Amino acid sequence: MIGKMLGNRYEILEKLGGGGMAIVYKGKDTYLNRLVTIKVLRPEFTSDEDFIRRFRREAQAVASLSHPNIVNIHDVGQEDGVHYLVMEYVPGDNLKVIIKKRGPLSPEEAVRFTVQVCEALEHAHQNNIVHRDVKPHNILVTEEGRAKLTDFGIALEATAATITRTDTIMGSVHYLSPEQVRGETATARSDIYAVGILLYEMLTGRHPYSGDTPIAVALKHVQETPRPVNEVNPEVPEELAAVVMRAIEKDPRHRYQSAGELARHLEMAFDDTSQATVVIPAGEIARRAAAARPETEEMKADAVSEAGAARSRRWVWVAVLVLLAGLLAGGVYGFYNYYLNVPEITVPDVIGKPVEQAKAELEALGLEVKTVERYSDEEPGIVIAQDYGPEKPKVKPPRVITLTVSKGVELRKVPDLYGLTVSDAEYKLRAAGLVPAQPAEDYHPEMEPGRVFKQSPAAGESVPKGSTVQFTISMGPEPKMQVVPDLTGKTLEEAREILKDLNLVLNEKDIKYSFNPNYFRNQIIGQIPDPNTEVEEGTAITVVLNSAPGPVERGAVVKIKDEIPNDGRAHLVEIVVNDLEGRSVQYSDSHTYGDKINQRITYTGHGVVQVFIDGKLIMEEELPQ
């Protein structure tokens, strides 16, 4: 599927994962030039009308929803038997991966993610959509820390007659509600149960129920009660643990009745666990007050004699009850005005502002502010994300808003690479959070070949994490150049000595042969590289030796007449032959004007004869071959 174009618009780039019903790919919308997530129904289900209906149901379910904590759907289509959904691309990990990497999350972070999931479910439930498969695998966490609910593949309208099939339990077994295990209709409170299991897992790093088989796990949802969260993880506040345990009550009637109610109790339990307000009904106060009066047999016996005292005591209790009722009324009134009769406000967008300014704006509205820091490209102290903003529903103060504040660019110190091999240099850079560039090569008079002798940025310099570091490895000392001599006519021994003087070498392993009758046997008649070519010192020169037996000796007659000067003196006459055997003086004698010389000479192969008078060349001719 990689590289395939769907709908003449969506290009599949890479596989992201898959579930039992579909395979998920990363893709590109070529019209809008943006990344998307493409969910493709598995080929084995394309002929199953039930799976196709469920696949289309997901598109219909998500299309009816619009919420910042729900992954949006962009398109749905079918092409050549391929059924696909195109959804918003969310970079980052799913919550399951985060839990596996980090173990138990902090109560603050777990509550923040859970509240966001509850807000997404509240929106879905208000639109009569029950998710039925809430689990950490289906919750994507953006790079800014926002949770987004996805995969409504088995969701169904809450008004449908039957949501759970009688022959198959839909949903992931670790997060199934007891009523789903029994095959009953799943409701919004079934999603709340799954959220409670999810929160339990985030706070403890493990499932509340485990077993050898899926059936064993499913039965535990019906039959067993898990250990309280704060026993598994003592860092979890008792009030927060109580909220978790109520969310996973076996009986749906005893759970929270809506996702919004669960979210509110989570915020109250976490925000101020030490100052929780307890409201006791007036009737309960009266019952406890009455129960506080001890009534023994001895008191009954003395009742008549102490009637006056009893009447006095009754008036005291009446006064106490009136006082308690007044206090209760004042407390209810105060609670109503402080917590309930508070106008809702829209949380302003403070991203991009200095953190002190952002805190001042939010606190001026009665909101509380918490901050976390993260490295980013923004300058330090600037707000780069907020967990609740103006695009969400209005809230009542004092709501806690978590701001993510930039720590600036994360800097890393460049390690010293001098003298390292390429593999060691690359390893050291990656370990420091830096990126090694393709190494360059250059000559160095001292550094061993293959080792680093130069880098940029310099060692010890601080640079942003992920920066590229350039480095250069040595090729050894820069070689000198020499001109290749002409070795034609030389023997191997002569060529070896000539090349040695020039810091060149004879290629002894690849001596070639050729036939040339004009040279002696084993004389050099060719070479590679050619004469007068410039090469590096140390270059090997390949030579071609003559395999022919060599030329025979020939003879010729040199005639000299009227070339001697007429000056009355004697002059030295020399006849010199240059042939394959070299230069030889074959005649030398004194003559005067008028002398005639007819001198026979011999030569081998190609030759040239020269005549000198008193050392001056007066004639030069090539000899016939």
554 within 8 A of 521, measured Cβ to Cβ: no
Helix (H, G, I), strand (E, B) or coil at 285: helix
332 within 8 A of 324, measured Cβ to Cβ: no
Half-sphere exposure of 47 (CA within 13 A, CB side): 1
Separation in Å, CA 32 to CA 9, 55, 74: 9, 25, 11
* 50 in active site: no
Give CA–CA dist 602/579, Å, rounded.
Answer: 10
Two tokens, residue 304: 């008549």
Give CA–CA dist 471/447, Å, rounded.
Answer: 14
Nearest to 565 by CA among 599, 591, 597: 591
Q: Count CB neighbours of 384 within 10 A.
A: 19
Across the strands, what pairs with 29?
10, 34
Separation in Å, CA 316 to CA 252, 293, 299, 320, 375: 45, 12, 18, 6, 66
Which helix H or strand E contains 122, and what residues bound it? Answer: helix 107-126
Nearest to 611 by CA among 585, 582, 576: 576
Two tokens, residue 62: 């998500």
Where b means 16+ CB within 10 Å and e means fewer, 386-412 reads: bbbbeeeeebebbbbbbbbbbbebeeb
Give CA–CA dist 232/244, Å, rounded.
Answer: 13
**Marked catalytic residue, from 29, 75, 133, 191:** 133
Question: Counting Cβ atoms within 10 Å, is residue 263 exposed (0-12), middle (13-18) or buried (19+)?
Answer: buried
Two tokens, residue 197: 């299991």
Give CA–CA dist 358/352, Å, rounded.
Answer: 9
- 76 alpha carbon, distance to own chain's centre: 29
Two tokens, residue 65: 């929803």
Give CA–CA dist 174/202, Å, rounded.
Answer: 14
Pairing of strands 582-591, 616-623: unpaired
Two tokens, residue 5: 């174009």
Give the contacts of 437 (CB within 8 A, at least 6 positions apart): 468, 469, 470, 471
Residues in the chain: 625
Three-state secondary structure readout of 343-398: CCECCCCCCCCEHHHHHHHHHHCCCEEEEEEECCCCCCCEEEEECCCCCCCCECCC
Across the strands, what pairs with 420?
none
Active site residues: 133
